[in-house]
Amino acid sequence: MSATGRIAAFAGVVALVSGGAAVAGGAIDPKGAEQNSAPHNDAHAARSGDEPMNAHGNTHGGTAEKPRPVRGLAVAEQDLRVVVDDPELRRGRAETLRFRIVDASDRTVRDFDVEHERRMHLILARRDLTGFQHLHPEQGQDGVWSVEVKVDEPGSYRLFADFAHEGDSYTLASDLRVDGAADLRPLPEPEMDALSDGGYDVRLSAGDVHPGEEAELRFEISRDGKPVKVEPYLGAGGHLVALREGDLAFLHVHPTGDGTDFAATFPTRGNYRLFLQFKHAGRVQTVAFTQEVD
């Protein structure tokens, strides 16, 4: 091959490698991946009469932040990353789970904003959307977050670190493994009525729910046939997390007022598992529903 031909061939190889790297980078870059995700409300439900809000109800300088893409699908976002010290848990034993948030230089982040009365919210759920836990870790002087957890069923679990840093909201996720053969369960069929873990009757009224459209989710709570007035929990009347079946995309919404009415925009068709938490008689109750979006 002539010198001119060798130079042309080399230039073609460089162009091919560069193009492939750009494609690969877009595939693994958390921010790039999220930008290609279907949008959702990502707004802990903007309260009636408020400006549109970001994922945790924040506005910056009086200007509403645009809704951000689906959360909980990546271990990193905007140069922040969640690192779990040991993702292996033993079933049926109380263990200390430790994790930290690091920046692009692998430095441990220590400063977090207070949101909903906490600086860090930790959500755990098994891949079949069972075993839901909402925990509030403590941060050590080294910046490491720790919390005691007990997981009774084996399988693969998803950890969601939900927090705010320098005015921006994040939901970073990572996987945990619990030893043993997992007996995965199918998602329950949608039902209007469910029983909380403390024996409260809860009814969900949602009507037809369509992707990309704001839906009103109303929960009526009673015990022994009598309506229950909820107590404040995390600065609101209730707390609602929605996880999408399959990839466990994370929607985190809060009431439109001081009760248990919520507004949420589901990003795609499919089934979602709703985990409602409310407080009564000094105890936090948890109840789950399956919501179909079509």
Model confidence at 30, pLDDT cuts 50, 70, 90, reads very low
For residue 92, count other CB atoms closer than 10 A to its CB: 13
Mean pLDDT of 197-204: 97
In this prediction the pTM is 0.76
Closest CA to 98 of 108, 107, 113, 111: 108
Per CATH, domain 76-178 is 2.60.40.10: yes
| Burial status of residue 77 (CB atoms within 10 A of its CB: 0-12, 13-18, 19 or more) | buried
User: What is the pLDDT, as a whole number, of residue 69?
Assistant: 60
Q: What is the pLDDT of residues 150-187, one digit of tens each?
A: 999 999 999 999 999 999 999 999 999 999 999 999 99
Considering only residues 137 and 55, tell me which one the structure prediction assigns the higher pLDDT.
137
User: What is the pLDDT, as a whole number, of residue 37?
Assistant: 34
Beta strand residue intervals within 206-282, DSSP E: 214-223, 226-227, 239-244, 250-253, 261-265, 270-280
What is the topology classification, in CATH, of domain 193-293?
A: Immunoglobulin-like (2.60.40)
pLDDT at 1 over 80: no
Mean pLDDT of 86-110: 97
CA dist 206 and 192 (Å) reads: 9
- 133-135 β-sheet, strand order: 88-89, 168-178, 155-165, 121-126, 133-135
Q: What is the pLDDT of residues 266-282, one digit of tens each?
A: 999 999 999 999 999 99
Residue range(s) in the chain whose domain bears CATH number 2.60.40.1930? 193-293
CA dist 45 and 47 (Å) reads: 6
Return the DSSP state at 255.
B
Average pLDDT across the chain, whole number: 81
Structural tokens at position 8: 């042309």
Considering only residues 108 and 254, tell me which one the structure prediction assigns the higher pLDDT.
108
- CA 249 from chain centre, in angstroms, equals 7
pLDDT at 67 over 90: no
pLDDT at 56 over 60: no
> Measured over all CA atoms, what is the biggest interatomic distance in the chain, rounded to whole angstroms?
90
Q: Is 79 left (phi over 0), alpha (psi -120 to 50) or beta?
A: left
Residue range(s) in the chain whose domain bears CATH number 2.60.40.10? 76-178
CA dist 201 and 231 (Å) reads: 16
The residue to which tokens 């994040």 are assigned: 170
CA dist 276 and 254 (Å) reads: 10
Considering only residues 71 and 133, tell me which one the structure prediction assigns the higher pLDDT.
133
Mean pLDDT of 188-194: 97
pLDDT at 28 over 70: no
Q: What is the pLDDT of residues 204-260, one digit of tens each?
A: 999 899 999 999 999 999 999 999 999 999 888 999 999 999 999 998 786 788 789
Q: What is the pLDDT of residues 37-53, one digit of tens each?
A: 333 333 333 333 333 33
Q: Which helix (H) or strand (E) holds 290?
A: strand 283-293
Sign of the C-alpha dihedral computed for residues 94, 246, 288 and 173 taken in this order:
positive
